[in-house]
A and B are shown apart, each in its own frame.
Chain A
Amino acid sequence: MYLPDFEYYIPKTLGEACEILAQSDGEARVLAGGTDLLRDMKNDVGVPKALVSLKAIQGLDQIAYVAGKGLVVGAKATHNDLAGSSLLKEHYAAIPETARVMANNQIRNRGTVGGNIVSSVPSADLPPIFIALNASVTMIGPHETRTIPLEQFFVGPRRSVLNCDEILTELIIPDQKTTGSAYLKLGLRRSGALAVVGVAASVVANGGRIDHARIVLGAVAPTPVRAFKAEQILVGNSVTGALLEEAGRAAADECKPISDIRGSAEYRRDMVRVFTKRALCKALQLPIK
């Protein structure tokens, strides 16, 4: 299997990269790990005329705490960078845990955080947990740099608000109080499988009462979606099995799954109920029932 011809650029700065993208009239794509992009090109799904490599641009793969900003993850950090980050393990263990259930080891060594977000695939594993943790993304363009909540980034399957002359440079997880967070994935295999359903939850609880909850569903709508009704059911109430079940049922009602080769809409909906309950248990550090 061979790739079609394309122009290849390897700029040394983000400014230079944006300029090349701006001059390409939407015909260029940014190349980072290539695990989505090269696969699409081999499958003849949208072959770009030019690739703009981020390889020579330094400093985009850091995972660091920046005072006043939060935990900053560079767009070029790989899934295995997330999986192995002691900083993330200490503050948001759910993120390395999510990275470890993605694809397989070879892909995790190449695939990047930025790529997983920008591809905007509804079943992507990282967006739900990042949205549950209220993360933002920064995009740099030829004229301006903007930062928006990740929740507002996705528009539809493989569609986002990223303009064709913009590059996603970093993801920011703001400082927050959280009792715990979790992402649980249902795949048809443990490795190398897309999510049939993915549920992320982040909660703040005090003395058994839930003060704050964010639940994000993946692979059951055109974009990752918040389960707002389920969140409302939880807030202000004491944690009981019945409450978590009710939240699970609400999340199942809210999602808009499709039927495809990996599962029917009905199955996905019921698994949202089960996995919402389990993700909440895990975030609350309760035994999963």
Chain B
Amino acid sequence: MMEGIEHTTSGDKRYAIQLIVNGDSYDIVVKANALLVNVLRDQLNFTGTKKGCELGDCGSCTVLLNGKPVNSCMVLAVEADGCEITTVEGLAHNDELDTIQQAFIDHAAVQCGFCTPGMIMSAKALLNDNPHPTEQEVREAIAGNLCRCTGYVHIINAVLAASNKDKKGV
């Protein structure tokens, strides 16, 4: 019972929520059954977040919710009310890519590209918590992101390279 934020439109209840996406605040109205991934993509146009299995298995829809990677297909938008969300669109600053994005390009870690946004968000969360992970830690961090093209080797190399770049302060 969210006080004062229930709306009734044509009989269906709506909920006024606030999402802080990539640092910008969005006041939106959603139905209770709206999934975060659909609100991000369809209502707010953050189509970088992909939909794959939509059952929490593939990780294509990974976003950071209050800094932690989650499957946005398994979160109700109403449940994310008041939360900070980072999508792949939130990583680049002006025309400069984030270190992890550049590393994916430099190491050919992208083939079809469908898993890439989710993969990058998992990698970003790992590097935020643990700037110099071991290969095993990288493998564990991206275990919830399925890639059917690369065989993961280039992706792991890219994440390790991004962490080393950080180490040299480049």
- Report A's interface with B, CB cutoff 8 A: 1-12, 16, 31, 34-35, 38-39, 42-43, 51, 53, 55, 80, 103-107, 109-110, 190-192
B contact residues around A105 at 8 Å (CB): 69, 122, 125, 140-141, 143-144
Contact: B74 with A34, CB < 8 Å? yes
Q: How far is the CA of A51 from the CA of B31 in the complex (A)?
A: 13
- A2 / chain B contacts, CB cutoff of 8 Å: 33, 35, 38
Given the contacts A103-B144, A109-B70, A42 and B54 also touching, CB distance less than 8 Å: yes
Complex alpha-carbon distance, A39 and B35, angstroms:
12
> Which A residues are in CB contact (< 8 Å) with B62?
106
Bound CA–CA A184/B79 (angstroms): 34
Query: How far apart are the CA atoms of A3 and B54 in the complex, in Å?
Result: 11
Residues from chain A with Cβ under 8 Å of B141 in the complex: 105
- Beyond A5-B32, A39-B74, A55-B79, 8 additional pairs, beta carbon < 8 A: A5-B12, A10-B1, A42-B55, A80-B68, A106-B56, A106-B59, A192-B57, A192-B143
Is B91 close to A, CB under 8 A?
A: no
Contact A107 B56 (CB under 8 A): yes
Find out whether the CB atom of A107 lies under 8 angstroms from the CB atom of B15.
no
In the docked arrangement, what's the CA distance between A137 and B79, Å? Answer: 26
Given contact pairs A2-B38, A34-B79, A104 touches B143 in the complex (Cβ within 8 A): yes
Query: Which residues of chain B are within 8 angstroms of A12 by Cβ–Cβ distance?
Result: 1
Closest A residue to B57 using CB positions? A192
- For B56, the chain A residues whose CB sits under 8 A away are 35, 39, 106-107
Which 7 A-B pairs have CB atoms at the shortest separation, nearest pair first?
A104-B144, A8-B32, A191-B143, A1-B54, A3-B33, A109-B68, A106-B144
Q: Is the CB of A31 within 8 A of B79?
A: yes
Chain A residue with minimal CB distance to B122?
A105
Q: Is the CB of B143 within 8 A of A34?
A: no
Expressed in whole angstroms, the Cα–Cα distance for A11 and B54 within the complex equals 28
Query: Which residues in B have their C-beta under 8 angstroms from that of A16?
Result: 1
Report if B78 contacts A (CB, 8 A): yes
Known contacts being A1-B54, A42-B55, is A35 close to B144, with CB within 8 Å? no
> Chain B nearest CB: distance from A104 CB in Å?
3
Judge whether B73 is part of the interface by a CB distance below 8 angstroms: yes
* 48-75 of chain B: CB within 8 A of chain A: 51, 54-57, 59, 62, 65, 68-71, 73-75
Does A6 contact B33, Cβ atoms closer than 8 Å?
Answer: yes
Chain B residues with CB below 8 A from A6, complex form = 32-33
- Given A3-B35, A10-B1; A106-B122 close (CB under 8 Å): yes
* B69 contact set on A, CB distance < 8 A: 105-106, 109
